[in-house]
Amino acid sequence: MSELAIGVIWILRVVLAGLTMFFPFVAGWSNFILDVIDGDILQWLGLGEETYQLTDKFFDWLAYLGMVLAAWRFQWGLRKWMYAFFALRTVGQALFFVTGDTTYFFFFPNFLEPLFLIYSAIFFFKGSEEVKAYAVYRKYRWYIWIFVIVYKMQEEFITHIAEVDRLDFIRDNILPLFS
């Protein structure tokens, strides 16, 4: 039974990555949410840490590919940034697959995903009209870039350098403050 559940989660990750190029907002955000929760679920189902890390990073890369294909398909104004960030993270992914060392993710950060999620939301809520979406992006670009860089660098550090599990940290250090 657990093998079936693991397979379903993996299939969802592949399907959502593919759908991202057609439905950037819905599929991109759905994939992001699934990626946030799938580790705990998959390990609870019995998937080992090493297998999880390898498969998760593979499915993450497929999601990034879906993101750059969406940027290309819709001819987003900032697609060249997305291509560059895809290339940057792909180098980190390759180094991880060769060495098994997750610290490479800190040095090759994933700026693509938060930038894509923000832009896909702008694109979605502006009626999928690129001219309007890009104008909103340009108006708020400094706030967007500051958020993307600060958010992603702290996440890469916590996850891949300090190796702190946020759920464990909250359970062990924050929740006791309220009991």
pLDDT tens per residue across span 116-139: 999 999 999 987 788 999 999 999
Is 70 exceeded by the pLDDT of residue 69?
Answer: yes
Q: How far apart are CA 51 and CA 161, in angstroms?
A: 20
Total structural domains within the chain: 1
Which residues does 123 contact at the CB level (< 8 Å), separation at least 6?
Answer: 24, 25, 74, 76, 130, 133
Paired tokens of 32 = 């992001």
Determine contact, residues 89/108, Cβ cutoff 8 Å. yes
Residue 68: domain span: 2-178
**pLDDT value, residue 162:** 87
Give the torsion sign (CA, 168, 169, 175, 177). Answer: positive
pLDDT greater than 70 at residue 1: no
Tokens 């702290």, residue? 154
Q: Is-above-0.85 flag for pTM? A: yes
CA separation for the pair 85, 151 (Å, rounded) = 15
Joined tokens for residue 122: 């702008």
